[in-house]
Homo-oligomer: A and B are copies of this chain.
Amino acid sequence: MFKINENYLKLPGSYLFSTIGKKVSAFQAAHPEKSIIRLGIGDVTQPLAPAIIEALHSAVEEMGHAETFHGYAPDLGYEFLRNAIAKNDYADRGCDIAADEIFVSDGAKCDSGNIQEIFGLDNKIAVCDPVYPVYVDSNVMAGRTGIYDPSTEMWSDVIYMPCRAENNFAPELPEETPDLIYLCFPNNPTGSTITKEQLQEWVDYANKVGAVIIYDAAYEAYISEENVPHTIFECQGARTCAIELKSFSKNAGFTGTRLGYTVIPKDLKCGDVALHSLWARRHGTKYNGAPYIVQKAGEAVYSETGKAQLRQQVAYYMNNAKTILDGLAEAGYTVSGGVNAPYIWLKTPDKMSSWQFFDYLLENAGVVGTPGSGFGPSGEGYFRLTAFGSYENSVAALERIKKL
């Protein structure tokens, strides 16, 4: 008789955003007359930029003729895209990453869920708390996290690094030594960042203890301040300890178009074994490449026209972020984030729990956000709003919140 992967049964409840979706649907069904503004899930709303649309049309046309048709893509991505990434995201920042250290994929969610596969089951992971749920859940499914304690909402074999107002939402080096360290800056969900010097400390620590940093830089395009690193490879020594995950979802609006990449430097080794070769093997065995037309769209992201159009798109969302951040502050909320990231992180008022505030905001203002506790126990008492809505909705949401 076949047996299931019992680790799946350890996962508590459903995925955070499914729960939010169900609550909102139920409220809308009960109050069909109320208009709801969604600033919960981190999904973009602006259309794809004209340069990307043009590239897509042109690639579609190629697929319609035998002479220019494209079948299976190269396992690790087309050269034209890997070269554009290597130049723009690394060489132009003075970082030493070769095109063949870049693995093109269909998005950072897949990569961040799949990357744990190349590591043994006896590695101990460390995560920020609060944190993007995929890092922990994918390790639960693999059986790497021990036992779940519903009272603390923590796993026995996970090292949690609390990020709260007390430490400026920056994780501290853990007391217990981890093997895999997940870091995400600019941070989802808190919207906070760390400086290049702070990140260098992490790189030095990882090299010292023999840990790998899995660095999620999905929100890099939103950095507006100096001295905030755009990639972990700005730090000395990162080539021997870091894997970087990047997404086209937030800088170019690809949430429904799907493209991302992972960088694994060839110097990152366990004994003689390069992690690069393990990830290449996984790609070759279980993946068949991102669609040609989407990789051509990705190339257009790096064209001069594309870059100019996307700077405007990011500026549009960051103007929303400022509207929300300033509005909340005026209304008396304690807020952070929103300067180098499209997320605003607020302290719930009157000692409300995160879910109490979720219900309060939905019922009284018709505004949907994300409860901080959904990202981990240290998110309790916090709440996330995103800048990915339209400007009009961002303004309207704040007017409603100010009236509460």
Contact = CB atoms under 8 A, between A and B. Distances in A.
A244 to B, nearest CB: 16
A198 interface: no
A329 interface: no
Contacts of A43: 71-72
A53 B69 CA distance: 12
B123 A255 contact: no
A179 interface: yes
A28 interface: no
A15 B75 CA distance: 11
Copy tally for this chain in the complex stands at 2
B71 A293 contact: no
B6 A120 contact: yes
B48 A288 contact: no
A83 to B, nearest CB: 19
A47 interface: yes
A47 B72 contact: no
A29 interface: no
A318 to B, nearest CB: 18
A9 to B, nearest CB: 7
A32 interface: no
B60 A120 contact: no
A296 to B, nearest CB: 11
Given A138-B286, A285-B113, A286-B114, A64 B48 contact: yes
Contacts of A106: 106, 258, 288
A404 interface: no
B287 A109 contact: yes
A210 B119 contact: no
Interface in A80-131: 106-107, 109-110, 113-114, 117-123
Contacts of A66: 45-47, 390
Given A2-B180, A285-B138, A8 B69 contact: no
A212 interface: yes
Interface in A199-243: 209-212
Interface stretch (A147-155, A157-165, A276-284): A276-284
